[in-house]
Amino acid sequence: MPKIKNPNVLIGFNSVDDAGVYRISDELALVQTVDFFPPVVDDPYDFGAIAAANSLSDIYAMGGKPLSALNLLGFPPESVPLWAVDEILKGCADKVGEADVPIIGGHTLKTKEPLYGMAVTGIIHPEKIISNKNAKVGDSLILTKPLGIGIITTAIKKDLVEQNVVEEAVSIMTFLNKSASEAMLEVGSNAATDITGYGLLGHLYELVRASKRGAKICLSKVRVIDFAWELAKQKVVPGGTLANLKFLQNKVDWDKEITQEAKLILSDAQTSGGLLISVSKEKEKKLLDTLASKGVPESMVIGEIVEDETCRIQVKT
Ligand code: CO
Ligand code: CO
């Protein structure tokens, strides 16, 4: 991509962040993002809701307020019946309704496999952007959803998962990052990102690299969907997770007790994962309390930001 010279581009391609930000005035900037992907679950309604929650998440991760969305839909009419397409759109409509974001247009085309997602436009005050580059030494790192989604959805495709685990995974993926975003804005946070395809450690690496710091993570504090441990042991993991772990190999210092399963889980490619928030130690408790009062009670402190210009991540038991 060409280098951006426009001074109104506050966040663009050069900083690997969640969404682009374009300044309209001193008080107002647009936040824009787009995301679409093939089904991660069998139920078309759930898929629509997951895709919608996932697309909105990048706006929430910047501390923005989503205003409107456009649908992006592709499907093969010979193998995907119209009722299923209806269900995808219904799942999405209910989810954006919950977020109070109207869908104001979109585009549909024939594709070889079903694809669905949204382009979302939001607003933010140019001085209140919570990017990934301002993490401070001593900050606590708070994660708002458990890990293991990529592993579970891979197992769903192989029919290895009981219905109750499917439901747990769907409820995690469809949970909006809206309240978590409002909590981090209310308390004041230094940096944030959402956990998606690069996994916890991949997105944390982007954050520490942008912030020119390092991080220390404590495995025992990271909440994981129970069944994902068993699946990781059986090597039921998405290709993206293996690629993430490979990418991270010379960026992470693992304690020698950290097992291969744990490495896979910490690198697991998530769909619609939680927010990872870097907040000053003094505000840690207030943020946890605010998250709990806004209905995000299972948020956890998983580690901290440390001084390290080489941007390494240490993983302890
Ligand atoms: Co993101
Ligand atoms: Co994205």
Ligand 2 centroid to residue 209 C-alpha, Å: 18
| Distance from the alpha carbon of residue 257 to the mean position of ligand 1, in angstroms | 30
How much distance in Å is there from the Cα of 19 to the middle of ligand 1?
A: 7
**What's the CATH number where 173 sits?**
3.90.650.10
Pick from 124, 159, 185: which residue ends a domain? 124
Output the pTM of the full model: 0.96
CA of 195 from ligand 1 middle (Å) equals 6
For residue 57, which ligand has an atom nearest its CA?
1
The SS3 call for residue 263 is: helix
pLDDT per residue over 30-40, tens digit each?
A: 999 999 999 99
Query: Is 131 part of a structural domain of the chain?
Result: no
Q: What is the per-residue pLDDT across 154-188, written as a single tens digit (0 to 9) for each?
A: 999 999 999 999 999 999 999 999 999 999 999 99
Coarse DSSP helix, strand, coil percentages of the chain, rounded to the nearest 5 percent? 40, 25, 35
CATH number at 107 reads 3.30.1330.10
Q: Is residue 298 part of a domain?
A: yes
Cβ distance 193 to 137 under 8 Å?
Answer: no
Based on the structure, what is the number of domains in the chain? 2
Domain assignment of residue 296, given as a range: 140-316
Q: Where are the alpha helices (DSSP H) in the chain?
A: 44-61, 82-99, 149-157, 163-173, 178-187, 199-211, 226-233, 239-248, 260-266, 284-293
For residue 43, count other CB atoms closer than 10 A to its CB. Answer: 16
Taking the C-alpha atoms of residue 180 and residue 135, their distance in angstroms, rounded to an integer, is 18
User: Of 189, 199, 173, which Cα lies nearest the Cα of 61?
Assistant: 189
CA of 197 to the centre of ligand 1 (A): 8
Q: Are residues 96 and 173 in the same domain?
A: no
Q: How far is the CA of 83 from the centre of ligand 1 (A)?
A: 31
Domain membership flag for residue 2: no
pLDDT tens digits along 7-51: 999 999 877 889 999 999 999 999 999 999 999 999 999 999 999
Q: What is the pLDDT of residues 228-261, one digit of tens each?
A: 999 999 999 999 999 999 999 999 999 999 999 9
Whole-number Å distance, alpha carbon 273 to ligand 2 midpoint, is: 11
On whether both 93 and 180 belong to a single domain, the answer is: no
Q: Are residues 13 and 84 in the same domain?
A: yes
Confidence of residue 1 (pLDDT cuts 50, 70, 90): confident
Q: How far is the CA of 282 from the centre of ligand 2 (A)?
A: 30
Same domain, 207 and 246: yes
How many angstroms separate the alpha carbon of residue 82 from the centre of ligand 1? 31
State residue 16's pLDDT score. 80
